[in-house]
Structure 1
Amino acid sequence: MADLFWPGDERAGAHFTAEDFVGAMLTVEEDWLGQGLGLLVDAERLALDAEAGGNPVIPLVRLVREHAPEAHRGLTSQDVVDSALMRMSEAAVGSLLADLRSLIRRLADLAAAHRDTPMVARTLTQHAVPTTFGFRVAAWLTAVLDAEAQVDDLDFPDQLGGAAGTRAAMAELGVEVPAGVPRWHTTRASVTRLGDALVGCTDACARIANDVVTMSRPEIGELSEGTGGGSSTMPGKANPVLSVLVRRAALTTPQLAATLHLAAAQQVDDRADGAWHAEWATLRDLVRRTLTAASQTVDLVSGLVVHADRMAATLAAAGDTVLAEQRSMAAAAGHEPAASYLGDAVAYVDAVVAHARELVEEER
């Protein structure tokens, strides 16, 4: 599904599309009924009919009951929507984890390849001390590993509470609720945890994109995207388009997660009046933007061009200024400065790469 307002959105595939939502809701109804229905539902028609009742389940149930009059008994609309959202989220997270692990593999290879490639470290935009490009990549990799762990730890519970969470209708009907299925109508941690984990992914991806944008400036020229984007007016210009698009996602996803937290904080009574409704489109945008950004970051790292000669030249041009700290530390320790001032940077790279490779090997 292409989106002119969000170039690259098609990378998110069918996750959280209207059709995906309808399919997930139908599956929830079929699971509760205990039989398949084989219905084909027009998502656009359902969307048009949803306004009257405030959610798409009400018109969906009317259609379902034309084929199975006993369908939906004991459930409430929120049971169906929440369960559908979690099922869609679980499928989307599966795709996201695949991209994150692909990114981890590529970053591990890049860090290992450049563990000894010298460059100047920069702090507060200024030259600081010597470092290696492998060390910089290891920092990128650490952020992605943290994000992957947070995503991998998510769970996706169904919702079965009935009209007000008491399951009174289910009890009246003699329906036995499967063990371990929670009721969380007004306790939205499953949603906010998901939102936080997704934002952690775009944070980690933007960490990489920010460096690529900066280091690909012509006056620095230490990195460049494998296939730069063109310009509508300047032939031959190679813009770091993937990095720009990843940054775009990271500039918007925190606000989406904040909306999920605001909705959680605005829960009231035994089912909320509007806060629940605010989650659906917010979660859709957050999921799709995260999937798109992760996929773009895989391509960004896969095609990244490292200009080691420029890195070395910049470090050399910095001269003694990048060794000022070393001289003062050596004087304090009472010995001459060593030939290298990298501390345990190389050991750190090796440890992060080893951890990353162990993780992706376990997931195979």
Structure 2
Amino acid sequence: MGDLFWPGDERAGDLASEVAWLAAMVRVEQAWLDALARAGIAPGTVELTGLVGPDDLAEVAHVAEGAGNPVPALVALWRERARGLGAAWVHRGLTSQDVIDTSLVLMLRDAAERVHRELHDQVTSLVVLTHAHQGTLIAGRTLTQHAVPTTFGAKTAGWLTGVLDVADSLARIPLPAQFGGAAGTLAAVVELARLRGVADPVAVTTTVVADAASALALRAAPPWHTTRTTFTAIADALVTGTDAWGRIATDVATLSRPEIGELLERAVDGRGGSSTMPHKRNPVLSVLIRRAALTAPALASTLHLAAALAGDERPDGAWHTEWPTVRELARRAVVAASHTSELLRGLRVDDARMRGAARAAWQDLTAERRSIAAFVGKAPPDDDYLGAADAVITAVLARANAYLEARQ
């Protein structure tokens, strides 16, 4: 895939595409049908994979307008094209929201796994940078102005902390299946089980839900049709990512200004130039990462707003708002993660320029030290005034190493 409106979109591949969504919905329906058959409710199962393909998507999308979602059109095609005892049992006991919600969770899990791989890459790069520049003097800047001395290793340790926080957030996100039936009571499955002569329909229905969820490697959970914590939690974790990556990109873009020149993105043919200004070397990766950081919070906000308006037992419009929002947020987060990994792998550090700028501004950078010394009535010592920077860096590196060991 590619997107003229979002350069770099192809890095996300077919993640959260229409084809991927179809595949995820097939998996959900298949897991449910198989579970019905294993429980003795359905007389058999059929293979749904391949019955509906990419060539059908335009027609499915057209027909979906009539129902407000694509599931009824898909179910009609599956039942029409499937052969075997289980064909008529496709989707029995489910509702459209069950299929859509669970398939979106599957796609978001794929996005989270992609981001996890990029995070591992980023942590590895940042550990190397932090070790290499633990003692590299640089001017600390607050509110755009010189503040006190610090080290570039302390700065990258800050970046590293943000990336590790993203990993923690993603590790905590819930991944439940959604199986609730028309209004979250599973009444249709219980009734089907009763009519098929099952001795304890409610117990068997619970088994079916657990079986189908297990087949999808998701957590069995009570129906959550209008409790949208799943999507807001995943969105918040992804935005934690774009926040952290945006912070890195902002620092790189600022420090790569010609008048500062302390950092530079790796040179790549065809990237960052200008057709009329040959001297230009624009920090394109940083620009694209910042773009994602600026737009992702609004997408998460949309999901929170939808969650707040998820009324009754099925939301009227709020639920529908989630689908394209989830798609955009997942793809943009994965692309930004990929851009950040590349940025960090190729980052060029001009440590001599960092030290030179810090020394040139040394009187300003050590003004705080002199004011503290004057307060206590003692002369300031003659060192680099870095406080506990080494201890902070050591603690962050220990956390990073624990993360890398756990991910081996």
CA contact (8 A) 2:285 2:339 kept: yes
Equivalent in the alignment of 1:40: 52
Q: What is the CA–CA distance in structure 1 between the aligned matches of 2:73 and 2:24, rounded to whole Å?
A: 15
Identity %: 52
Equivalent in the alignment of 2:301: 258
Q: What is the CA–CA distance in structure 2 between the aligned matches of 1:89 and 1:298, rounded to whole Å?
A: 20
CA contact (8 A) 2:52 2:74 kept: no
Q: What is the CA–CA distance in structure 1 between the aligned matches of 2:275 and 2:398, rounded to whole Å?
A: 44
User: Alignment partner for residue 189 of structure 2, among 140, 147, 170?
Assistant: 170
CA contact (8 A) 1:170 1:176 kept: yes
Q: Offset at 1:47? A: 1.7
Q: What is the CA–CA distance in structure 1 between the aligned matches of 2:232 and 2:276, rounded to whole Å?
A: 43
Equivalent in the alignment of 1:350: 394
User: Aligned to 2:141, what secondary structure does the other structure show?
Assistant: strand
1:20 aligns with 2:20: yes
Equivalent in the alignment of 1:341: 385
Q: String of CA shifts for 1:228-280, please: whole Å, max 9, x gaps.
A: 51123222411000000000001100000000000001111111100000000
CA contact (8 A) 1:187 1:264 kept: yes
CA contact (8 A) 1:112 1:350 kept: no
TM-score (norm 2): 0.87
Q: What is the CA–CA distance in structure 2 between the aligned matches of 1:232 and 1:319, rounded to whole Å?
A: 40
Structure 2 residues without counterparts, runs of 5 or longer: 35-44, 194-203, 211-219
CA contact (8 A) 2:123 2:160 kept: yes
| Bigger-Rg structure (1/2) | 2
Deviates more, 1:269-278 or 1:352-361: 352-361
Equivalent in the alignment of 2:72: 58
User: Alignment partner for residue 215 of structure 1, among 255, 258, 280?
Assistant: 255
1:201 aligns with 2:241: yes
Q: Offset at 1:332? A: 3.0
User: Aligned to 1:163, what secondary structure does the other structure show?
Assistant: coil
Q: What is the CA–CA distance in structure 1 between the aligned matches of 2:340 and 2:26, rounded to whole Å?
A: 34
Q: Offset at 1:292? A: 0.2
Equivalent in the alignment of 2:63: 49
Q: What is the CA–CA distance in structure 2 between the aligned matches of 1:69 and 1:236, rounded to whole Å?
A: 67
TM-score (norm 1): 0.97
CA contact (8 A) 2:52 2:78 kept: no
Q: What is the CA–CA distance in structure 2 between the aligned matches of 1:47 and 1:72, rounded to whole Å?
A: 19
CA contact (8 A) 2:166 2:244 kept: yes
Q: String of CA shifts for 1:184-211, please: whole Å, max 9, x gaps.
A: 1000000000111110000000010000
Q: What is the CA–CA distance in structure 2 between the aligned matches of 1:206 and 1:293, rounded to whole Å?
A: 9
Q: Which letter maps to 2:223?
A: R
User: Aligned to 2:67, what secondary structure does the other structure show?
Assistant: coil
User: Aligned to 2:174, what secondary structure does the other structure show?
Assistant: coil
Equivalent positions of 1:1-364 (< 5 A) are 1-34=1-34, 35=45, 36-38=47-49, 39-41=51-53, 42-66=56-80, 67=82, 68-174=87-193, 176-177=205-206, 178-179=209-210, 180-227=220-267, 229-338=272-381, 339-364=383-408
CA contact (8 A) 1:142 1:352 kept: yes
RMSD of the TM alignment (CA)?
Answer: 1.2
Q: Offset at 1:52? A: 1.4
Q: What is the CA–CA distance in structure 2 between the aligned matches of 1:5 and 1:202, rounded to whole Å?
A: 18
Equivalent in the alignment of 2:197: none
User: Aligned to 2:32, what secondary structure does the other structure show?
Assistant: helix
Q: Which letter maps to 1:356?
A: A
CA contact (8 A) 1:138 1:352 kept: yes
Q: What is the CA–CA distance in structure 2 between the aligned matches of 1:70 and 1:124, rounded to whole Å?
A: 64
User: Aligned to 2:313, what secondary structure does the other structure show?
Assistant: coil
User: Aligned to 2:147, what secondary structure does the other structure show?
Assistant: strand
Q: Offset at 1:334? A: 4.1
Equivalent in the alignment of 2:213: none
